[in-house]
Amino acid sequence: MSPTRQENRRRNLRRWAPRGAALAVLGLAATGCASNDLTRLGMPEPITDQAERVLSLWQGSWVAAFAVGILVWGLIAWSIIFHRKRSEQLPPQVRYNMPIEALYTVLPIVIISVLFFFTARDQAILLDTDEPADVNIEVVAFQWAWQFNYLDDKKENGGEVLFSETGIPNPDGTADPSTQTTLVLPEGATVHFDLHSPDVIHSFWIPAFGFKMDVIPGRDNAFQADLQDDSEGEYIGRCAELCGVDHARMLFNVTVLPQDEYEAWAAEQREEASQAELEAAEIEGNESGDAESGAAEPTEDVESGEGSGAEGAGAGGAGTDEEGTGSGGSDAEENEQ
Ligand SMILES: [Cu+2]
């Protein structure tokens, strides 16, 4: 190398080094002054222990990607700045350089192996359902809404669930939260989800869980979530699998309540459901009585049935009891169209 070229290179370095350093400091400051939003790299704030794990995996993967990126960008910048074409003479070629070729092969294998190890480890933990759960919920995804059956409360006379939250697809297709089903959960609890679909493949997704799982007809998918102690709040839920023309309507709300408020809510649901069951039984009795006596005016009975019995009777809805019972049947039919 000629003395002038060496001189040039040194001058270049003097010129570019401070600029590069300034840029690096600016980059660091930009990340340092931002809130947690930026360090989460687009992930929602986690509300379960599992979501924390997913977040760590996500961040770790980005750190690895950035390390590779910075190395590659650095090499590109270095070549552009210090190795521009200066003459017609071909620079020294390094083809078939064994150490470099070996590095090209070994380094990606090492990177992929490390990423695979952490991914496989976390996946095994995320899919573990052995821990005894505090709350068991059957999620039924159907075209195009959700039903949440609270499995811990069964009807006294049979194995049916006592209460459920059943969504009705919003007829005008807008994302109006007031028409969406709400999944109510207690904070600090371990919740077990069983996922079932009577029609096509859906995907149960609560972004704040950092997790989604497909709901597949004929397959028993399940997972558990350990809700954190300070997770009280309102969250959103989505279907994350294109499941038909009204897929976009498959929205739901998630409300996480403190333990005592959840207990109160569940007690209220139990009470309402038992009441509705009683009324439904009464109506059935009346109807058979009317039929026997030949009464021609069942309108009053039907109306009262619609009002009070719809929620409880519709509980079997699209999931466990496709016909529905009493007036709930009309709801279930609507849902399926
Ligand atoms: Cu869906």
Q: What is the pLDDT of residue 129?
A: 94
pLDDT at 332: 37
Distance between Cα 245 and ligand 1 center (Å): 10
DSSP type of residue 93: P
* 184 and 317 fall within a common domain: yes
The pLDDT, as a whole number, for residue 315 is: 38
Q: Which two tokens stand for residue 187?
A: 């904070």
Q: Write out the two tokens for 95.
A: 């083809």
How far does the centroid of ligand 1 lie from the alpha carbon of residue 124, in Å? Answer: 26
pLDDT of residue 171: 60
Domain boundary among 103, 126, 149: 126
Q: Measure the CA–CA gap between 61 and 58, rounded to whole angstroms.
A: 5
Query: How distant, in Å, are the alpha carbons of 156, 200, 269 from that of 163?
Result: 12, 24, 6
Residues 55 and 180 in one domain: no
Q: 171 with 118, same domain?
A: no
Q: Residues whose CB is under 5 A from ligand 1 (ion)? A: 202, 239, 243, 250
Task: Give the distance (Å) from ligand 1 centre to CA of residue 176.
Answer: 17
Two structure tokens written together for 272: 């309402």
Measured in Å, residue 204 CA sits from the centre of ligand 1 at 8
Per-residue model confidence as pLDDT tens digits over 128-183: 999 999 999 999 999 888 999 988 876 555 556 667 777 776 666 566 667 788 99
The number of domains in the chain is: 2
**181 and 101 in a common domain:** no
Q: How high is the pLDDT of residue 45?
A: 92
Using the mean position of ligand 1's atoms as its centre, give its distance from the Cα of residue 163 in Å. Answer: 22
Ranges of the chain with pLDDT below 70: 1-18, 20-21, 24-35, 154-162, 169-177, 287-337
Question: Based on the domain organization, do 193 and 280 belong to the same domain?
Answer: yes
Give the per-residue pLDDT at 74: 97
**Distance in Å, CA 251 to ligand 1 centroid:** 9
Q: Do residue 252 and residue 191 come from a single domain?
A: yes
Q: 24 and 77: one domain?
A: yes
Residue 215 CB partners (closer than 8 Å, separation 6+): 139, 141, 195, 196, 197, 201, 202, 203, 204, 221, 241
Question: What's the CATH number where 153 sits?
Answer: 2.60.40.420
The per-residue pLDDT for 179 is 72
For residue 116, CA distances in Å to 41, 52, 189, 204 come to: 20, 18, 30, 25
Beta bridge partners of 204: 213, 239
The strand order across the sheet containing 233-239 reads: 181-186, 251-257, 233-239, 202-206, 211-215
Report how far ligand 1's centroid is from the alpha carbon of 171 (Å).
16
Cα 250 to ligand 1 centroid, rounded to whole Å: 6
The owner of tokens 């000629």 is 2
Same domain? 143 vs 117: no
Same domain for 148 and 13, yes or no, is no
CA of 323 to the centre of ligand 1 (A): 21
Give the span between the Cα atoms of 107 and 102, in whole angstroms: 8
The backbone torsions φ and ψ at residue 190, rounded to the nearest 5 degrees and listed phi first, read -95, 120
Give me the pLDDT at residue 321, please. 40
- Determine the distance separating the centroid of ligand 1 and the alpha carbon of 198, expressed in angstroms: 11
Q: Are residues 142 and 214 in the same domain?
A: yes
> Taking the mean position of all CA atoms in its chain, how far away is CA 255?
14
Domain region containing 141: 134-337
The residue out of 104, 126, 148 marking a domain boundary is 126
Both 147 and 272 in one domain: the answer is yes
Tell me the per-residue pLDDT of 247-259, one tens digit each, with 9 for 90 and over: 888 889 999 999 9
Residue 120 and residue 147 in one domain: no
